[in-house]
Homo-oligomer: A and B are copies of this chain.
Amino acid sequence: MAKDRVTVIDIARAAGVSKSTVSLVLQASPLVNETTRAKVNAVIRDLGYVYNRGAANLRQSNSKSKIIGIVVNDLTNSFFAELAVGVDMVVQSAGYVQFLANTAESVDRQREVISSMREHGISGLILSPARGTDANDLKPLVASGIPVVNVVRQVAGAKVSSLISDNHAGMRDAVRHLAGLGHHCIAFLGGFPDTAVFNERLQGYRDALSDMDLALHDELVVSSAPSRAGGVAAIERALLLRERPTAAVCFNDAVAFGVCDGLRAHRLDPGEDFAVIGFDDVIEAQTAVPALTTISVDPQGMGRRAAQLLLKQINAGRADAEAIVSSVRLVVRQSCGAAIDKRERLSLL
């Protein structure tokens, strides 16, 4: 097995030029003569040279490493998997490679992986912070001038850019749609109450209810883990309420799928007997049966935009924090059913 690395010096020797020249052709500099460039490139191929970015990086400590980090709080959630794919797309085509780490909502883990990434010299970081992340956790990073873009969740007080979706407006639109279909008793299911995202969505729910002059009962808000299993649990509890809801907006699509599962377990037909709206529009939402009405967030697009924002900051050398809230739209499919009162619906059309 080829043991010792081929270096720029080996190339130089074999091609009969100096290492400086080889370095120039590696950087595709216009300074070098075409014929020598060709010769050097040929040797590079022949010897199977592989560029050592570590060494290069050491010298030119300014422009950095061509590595970006992305750390998410739950990779098993397909929302984040798709987000990562979106990020990967744009960083890959910009010649970067991504460190991807999963924190599983552990701040400790998060601290570890971020510091490990720093040691490796990432040029930027895309972060979906674990629950309980403090602004101080990001302090050293931003102080060292490494651009950071927060996605999905914000960290109060951190001076970093963020890209989050319009949780308030999305949930408001969902509730309005259900109310427009004639539902009076609408539950809010799933999610952990100690997150900003939860509260933004909840506020959208509340505001829509009061806009539509519907009463707001606290027991209609049932929190749970933001997962399929959590959705099952939440609908179980909701179905036991005195005033039983006829519709629900869910914290996210995973919860919504769980809610559909739970309904079926009770011999209720989601979309017919009970209206369900999700949030995120993950890829399965359109192919599920019934197809899920949901708030489209386009996680992959979000990943792409986050990556673009980050690359912009990296290239700008030093970009100041900007907070982007990306708009969101209701995608009506089958799971929210038709209007309760058909005549009313006809009159609306």
Contacts and interface: CB of A to CB of B under 8 A. Distances in A.
B265 A51 contact: no
Chain A: number of interface residues, binned into ranges = 35 or more
A7 to B, nearest CB: 10
Given A54-B121, A57-B54, A98-B100, A76 B67 contact: no
Counted per complex, copies of this chain come to 2
Nearest to A265: B289
Interface string A218-234: 00000000001100100
Interface in A44-63: 48, 50-55, 57-58, 61
A287 B5 CA distance: 51
Interface stretch (A35-43, A112-120, A127-135): A112-120
A57 B54 CA distance: 8
A76 B228 contact: no
A92 interface: yes
Contact of A261 (B99, B264, B289): B289
A281 interface: no
A167 interface: no
A144 B100 contact: no
Interface stretch (A82-90, A150-158, A192-200): A82-90
A110 to B, nearest CB: 11
B81 A75 contact: yes
A104 B92 CA distance: 12
Nearest to A141: B50
A297 to B, nearest CB: 15
A228 B257 CA distance: 14
B2 A228 contact: no
Contacts of A287: 228-229, 232, 258, 261
29 contacts: A1-B143, A1-B144, A48-B143, A50-B118, A50-B144, A51-B119, A52-B119, A54-B65, A54-B120, A54-B121, A58-B58, A75-B84, A75-B85, A78-B78, A84-B102, A85-B102, A85-B104, A88-B101, A88-B102, A92-B109, A92-B113, A97-B117, A98-B99, A99-B99, A228-B287, A228-B288, A260-B289, A261-B288, A261-B289
